[in-house]
Structure 1
């Protein structure tokens, strides 16, 4: 399993951002194999974590036209900066 870690410094979020984020999350989970998605924000920082079964699923998602359009709007309007990391999950523990 892989996790994509998206960290961003927010420039300005609006209603279009909220709508777009919700739609993209649903599409990733339903159509592209995303296993889980969580996002948190505090002040002007946001972090989103998404879990994927394999690199092919991540690559397909990265090329999806709606996702690419949202990435462009993110660079133009919503984010001052961002970084993306992809990491392999070696172990996972749950309680209880």
Structure 2
């Protein structure tokens, strides 16, 4: 399993952002085998963590036409800057 961590400094999030985020989240689950997707914005910081079965799914998601539009719009309007990290999950455990 793989995790993608998206970290950004927010410029301005608007109604178009909210609609795009909801649509992309749905697409990630339905078309690209995303297993979980958690996002939070606090002040000017946004962090999103998503979980995937394979790097191929992540790369296909990155290249999706709608996702590319969101990336461009994000760079131009929504974010001052961002960072993406792709990690292979080595261990996972929980309690309760």
Scaled by the length of structure 2, what TM-score is found? 0.98
In angstroms, what is the RMSD of aligned CA positions? 0.5
Counting matched residue pairs gives 96
Q: Which position in structure 2 is the counterpart of 1:67?
A: 67
Task: Please name the residue that 1:8 is paired with.
Answer: 8
SS in 1 for 2:81: strand
What residue is the counterpart of 1:29 in the other structure? 29
Alpha-carbon distance in 2 for matches of 1:3, 1:13: 24
1:20 counterpart residue number = 20
1:94: how far off?
A: 1.6
Structure 2: give runs of 5+ residues left out of the alignment: none
In the TM superposition, structure 1's runs of 4+ consecutive aligned residues that sit over 3 Å from their partners are none
Structure 1 alignment gaps of length 5 or more: none
The 1-side partners of 2:94 and 2:35 are apart by 16
